[in-house]
Structure 1
């Protein structure tokens, strides 16, 4: 491998000749060989958006000549078109604040801009990574802005995934609305519920999660760009913040971006990112509960509940022939556990801001963006490869609901709590259906049994009662 010699304030290093990055990036690669991971794509794109917007802004104000500005913009456009992505090499676990990532982007754009102007990589003339690409910027205002932009860029895909899953669950709810099944609380027999009601409730939980995501995301539209080193705007022209927001709207397509009113606060605090991470955690909690329910309902098929049938997507065992597992829900559970862990990391990192800066931003960015990525992919997979193909096992639903000792609850208005409890105990002990026991013992007049023990009616609000009043009335 051929190299070129580059120099920074710490001295000289031999940089690979074909690298668009430079000496400061190489130092970060050497210092932070931690995870073997590269920066997530949204973290790269958002930083390049900022550099392009800054070049356009400084060209507009006249602070940067058109030749340099245009070259930086052209280099940025190449990256945004998908080129040079292999040049972004700094591990997510890096020096605080994200200086290494910021300089990686600065050096790549400077070297490529110089090539476009006929200069060589590593000369940093006429375009310098600090003096021109990073003009009027600091890691301390660009990385917080990056985090906000990157989250907002990923939000539509995440929101669409949640909505798609909502709609698939709602469609199944409609198909299953006529199927009455045993309800269960504490994993014990409870009053009947319709399978469609369960699925509609799942969809409703996701709808609430989606609203919370958008509510939390609204705060992320406030950009602190222009805060520079400590939020005060040193080295920044007064027109710069508003122009940056204007250009970032155009570059990103995010029309809701706003100029932050308190750039010091927006630099000090990672609270907005932490709140959004909390909304992701809430989504993960609800999603994990839903797929855990699916795993319970599909358990069996001979020794479990066997109330639904999931699409078979792969053989379930390397040793037990014919075994089919709930593989997609199992994957989703694991994703949700990871997201909850990511949120714990974000919470701790957000709390560790000190005075004018939170230096834990790289790990915040990585964990929030990773959570969004895996949740989006997991929900799309769950929707297409599982939920849309779920079928009900109606015979088993009917079998279990008729055997539920909780059906005695419907008798309470007629015979009271104590007598109903005694019937429930006898039903379990003798293995006799509540309905058959009521008939055998003459607990109710024969013409009232099916009316009081109407399973469908039990799934709606109301008081089961016969024609001759009730304990409560008499």
Structure 2
């Protein structure tokens, strides 16, 4: 079964009788019949191996199913973590290669002070690293297994050493650092660990949407948008407009993240719907969580390999925005004062002249002083004072 055989024998739909009993018994029956045939018996002859009396001995859906849920989520998340670290590293590499290029910073989608493209991309890398570590941290609670609790957590019909031995066996089989729950009643009643893990995926999705949208804006154009970067062309962008290329990979990423949001809502609603010793909504919790892990894992790999790795920087366009940004006047605040700097901005907007031209025209600073102060690259690092001015 673990090698993928007999998949056609697992016929129960995810939307089933509550708590996963139907699926659990489906598994028990498949195991029983495989064993019966291996022992020379006839499939269905439960006098040889009974699905309840033998396969399910000492077990209950109520401790087996949530244990399987935890192991499945932990196993599935390994590839997600790997892909996230790879994406973070790609952003770090881009940050290094783009670090000598200055662009206009933007706040409220308006001109702000200059920033290096490398600094911007380093922020993306740092946020992804934080969310990755958040996912790793949230997985810790999934490692606490309530197996051995049997029907309601009391361990009825189990040997006193059963829980410890099966957890040790699972640890060796899965290479996961799973452990016995300190309180099997809590492990059975509460599905908070799945809510926590799904919440970490939601946080990741928030960051990925933000980053993807920034890239879409930076890529906008080519003639009437920002055009600061070129994203790799993946497919024709229009069925009617020839030559149009769309940022389809970031758009794909957005849609995947929206789906993760929807799954997270379903998981939260299902998790709060438990009563007393059991939550009967476990099948939909697991279905939605595994779906989120699967789609965001695959999306991150595509996002990295077919988009981020191939970003090309339009250096001249970035530099042009940097020197034209009205935000550069901010560096003059310590020299001419905020109010006078604001007058310069207003005059620049009114006349269409650059900030540098206005300052020279008004005789506020010499040309040499302006060249020193309005150096875009120097504005991307802190300075204690403009001592040279």
Deviates further, 417-426 or 157-166: 417-426
Aligned to 2:122: 200
Cα distance in 2 for partners of 1:90, 1:182 equals: 56
Deviations 1:104-132 (A, max 9, x none): 11111111211111222222231111111
1:312-323 correspondence to structure 2 within 5 Å: 312-323=233-244
Match in the other structure for 1:368: 289
Structure 1 position 439, deviation (Å): 2.1
Q: Please say if residues 452 and 466 of structure 1, whose CA atoms lie closer than 8 Å, have aligned partners that are also in contact.
A: no
Residue in structure 1 matched with residue 165 of structure 2 by the alignment: 243
Deviations 1:312-362 (A, max 9, x none): 111111111100010110000000111111111111111111111111111
Contact in 2 for aligned 1:114/1:125 (Cα 8 Å) = no
TM-score (norm 2): 0.98
Q: What SS does the corresponding residue of 1:293 show, helix, strand or coil?
A: helix
Who is 1:430 aligned against?
Answer: 351
1:350 aligns with 2:271: yes
Query: Match of 2:71?
Result: 149
Deviation at 1:146, TM superposition (A): 1.1
Measure the CA separation in 1 of the matches of 2:184 and 2:385: 62
More deviation, 169-178/429-438: 429-438
1:238-261 C-alpha deviation (Å, 9 max, x unpaired):
11101101111121121x111112
Deviation of 1:139 after TM superposition, in Å, equals 0.8
* Structure 1 residue ranges without an equivalent (≥5): 1-78, 469-474
Provide the rounded CA distance (Å) in 1 between the counterparts of 2:116 and 2:8.
53
5 Å-filtered alignment, 1:135-284, equals: 135-254=57-176, 256-284=177-205
SS at match of 1:193: strand
Aligned partners of 1:452 and 1:464 also within 8 Å: no
Matched, 1:460 2:381: yes
TM-score, normalising length: structure 1:
0.80
- Shift in Å, 1:399: 1.5
Deviation at 1:373, TM superposition (A): 0.7
What is the CA deviation profile of residues 412-437 of structure 1, one whole-angstrom value per residue up to 9, with x for unaligned ones? 11111111111112212222221222
Write the deviation string for residues 48-102 of structure 1: whole angstroms up to 9, x where unpaired: xxxxxxxxxxxxxxxxxxxxxxxxxxxxxxx111211122222222221111111
Alpha-carbon displacement from aligned partner over 1:425-470 (angstroms, at most 9, x marks no partner): 22122222212222232221222101111111111122562535xx
1:298 and 1:334 map into 2 onto residues whose CA distance is 18
> Hey, what's the Cα distance between the residues in 2 that align with 1:349 and 1:462?
53
> Where does residue 412 of structure 1 map in the other structure?
333
Give the 3-state SS of the residue equivalent to 2:83 in structure 1: helix
1:112 matched to 2:34: yes
Aligned to 2:248: 327
**Structure 1 vs Structure 2 CA RMSD:** 1.2
Number of matched residues? Answer: 389
1:16-69, Cα deviation, whole Å (9 max, x unpaired): xxxxxxxxxxxxxxxxxxxxxxxxxxxxxxxxxxxxxxxxxxxxxxxxxxxxxx
Cα distance in 2 for residues equivalent to 1:435 and 1:108 = 79
Could you tell me which of 307, 330, 340 is aligned with 1:386? 307
Q: Does 1:131 align with 2:131?
A: no
SS at match of 1:381: helix
Determine if contact 1:295/1:329 at 8 Å carries over to the other structure.
yes
* 1:80 match: secondary structure: coil
User: Structure 1's 464 and 334: CA in aligned 2 closer, same or farther, altered over 3 A?
Assistant: farther
- CA contact under 8 A between 1:183 and 1:190: conserved in structure 2? yes
User: Which whole-Å CA distance do the structure 2 matches of 1:440 and 1:91 have between them?
Assistant: 76
Distance 1:430 1:464 in 2: 30
Q: Is 1:444–2:368 an aligned residue pair?
A: no
SS at match of 1:183: strand
Q: Deviations over 1:198-256 (max 9, x none)?
A: 111101001101111111111111110001110111111111101101111121121x1
